[in-house]
Amino acid sequence: AEEDFSWFDLTEIELLRVKCLPHTLDVLRASSLYTPFHIQLSHKTQRARAHRRFIELLPPESRNVEDSLRVRVSTEQILTLPELKANPFRERICRVFSTAPERDSLSFEDFLDLFSVFSDAATPEIKSHYAFRIFDFDDDGTLNKEDLKCLVNCLTGDGQDTQLTSSEMKQLIENILEESDIDRDGTINLSEFQHVISRSPDFTSSFKIVL
């Protein structure tokens, strides 16, 4: 519980950006004072790694620190990362983490955010929250039957021959709702989802992408 939210305390990059603000050092002091040393160590190396990976995605002329903080990388390019290439939820992941108005590109901070959620340091609550957002295909705040259907199709593969039959699908969705829809309103909301996830200890170890 003492872990710092490391991914976002002031990095050297941010130092560059906010060079002359008087409170910077104060922040710096406060953030590094309360974080155990070894945790700082591992997080900072991970952040450095993430930055390197991000720069690799940029066109060669803008591969420097200043540009890497300004430029947004389009989703298509993010999807070429080997870590995401084989993931059936890759479009959803990019969409959820993108802060651009059209939800189609990621800045370095979004990128960092993405991998911090998928890192070891993220708490199970954060992980399950983002998992929920990823699975909520229509972005309406609950998992309804359509969302569940999309989710199952993503899991089993999209091809016509690989999908479950419609009767199986119906049965499966009914069973899922039976098990997890506590208040019986026909959809699964965030807290119900988190309740289900909390019963599966494997979730945190599988909801992870190593950079």
Partner 1 sequence: MGCLTVEVALGLKSGALNASPSSGTYQLCVNLNKGHKEEFKDLFKFTQLICARARTGTWGSKSFALVDIATIPLNSCIKEGKKNASKLWRLMESVHVYREGNLTGFDLSEMLVLIFSGGIGKGESCLAHKALTFLFPNSQDLSPYDESIVHDSFHQLIQEQSQRAEAESLELQEWPPRDKGGGSQLHGAPQEYSSATLRILANMPSRTIGRSRGAIISQYYNQTVKLRRKNSRPLLRDMSRSARPSIRQYDLEFDLTPREEEEKRSLLVEELQGLTITQRNHMLQNMPLSLTEKRCLRQDIYIRRGRQRCYQISQTQLYCCSHLKYHCIIAFRSLWYGLLSGLYALKPWRYSLKQISGQFGSSVLSYFLFLKTLVSFNILLLLLLLPFIVAVQVAFPPTSESSNFQSFTGLELFTGGGPFTHTVMYYGYYSNFTLNQPCSSHQSSDHCPANAVHLPYNMPLAYLFTIGFSFFITCITLVYSMSRSFGKSYRVGSTLGVHAITVFCSWDYNVTQKWASRLQHDNIRTQLKELLAEWQLKQYPRSVCGRLRQMTVLFLVWLLSLASVLGCAIAVYSFSEFMHENHEIRTETISEKLQEARLLVLPLIVCIINLVVPYFYNVLAICEQHDSPVLEVYVAICRNLILKMVILGLLCYHWMGRKVKSLEDQCWETFVGQELYRFMVMDFIFTLVDTLFGELVWRLISEKLKRDRKPEFDVARNVLELIYGQTLTWLGVLFSPLLPVIQVLKLLFLFYIKKISLMANCQAPRKPWRASHMTTIFITLLCFPSFLGAAIFLSYAIWQVRPSRNCGPFRTLDTIYEAGKVWIRRLEEASPSVTWFTWIHQNLVENTFFIFLMSIVLLVAIYFNIQVVKGQRKVICLLKEHINNEGEDKIFLINKIHSIYEKKAVHQ
Measured from the CB of residue 104, what is the shortest distance to partner 1 in angstroms?
15
Please report which helix (H) or strand (E) contains residue 173, including its range.
helix 166-180
Confirm or reject binding of residue 77 to partner 1 (CB under 8 A): no
Nearer to partner 1, 62 or 171 (CB): 171
Measured from the CB of residue 158, what is the shortest distance to partner 1 in angstroms?
9
Count of residues in contact with partner 1, rule CB under 8 A: 105
Nearer to partner 1, 104 or 210 (CB): 210
134-163 positions binding partner 1, by CB under 8 A: 135-136, 138-142, 144-148, 151-152, 155-157, 162
Residue carrying structure tokens 């969409």 = 95
Measured from the CB of residue 58, what is the shortest distance to partner 1 in angstroms?
18
Partners of 143 in beta bridges: 188
Nearer to partner 1, 66 or 185 (CB): 185
The answer to whether the beta carbons of residues 136 and 197 sit under 8 Å apart is no
67/70 Cα distance (integer angstroms): 5
Confirm or reject binding of residue 208 to partner 1 (CB under 8 A): yes
31-60 positions binding partner 1, by CB under 8 A: 31, 33-34, 41-42, 44-46, 48-49
Q: Which two tokens stand for residue 93?
A: 């992941």
Among 92, 94, 113, 119, binds partner 1 (CB under 8 A): 113
Measured from the CB of residue 154, what is the shortest distance to partner 1 in angstroms?
8
Confirm or reject binding of residue 19 to partner 1 (CB under 8 A): yes
- CA nearest neighbour of 137 among 103, 95, 165: 95
159-198 positions binding partner 1, by CB under 8 A: 162, 164, 168, 171-172, 175-177, 179-187, 189-191, 193, 196-198
Confirm or reject binding of residue 80 to partner 1 (CB under 8 A): no
Measured from the CB of residue 175, what is the shortest distance to partner 1 in angstroms?
4
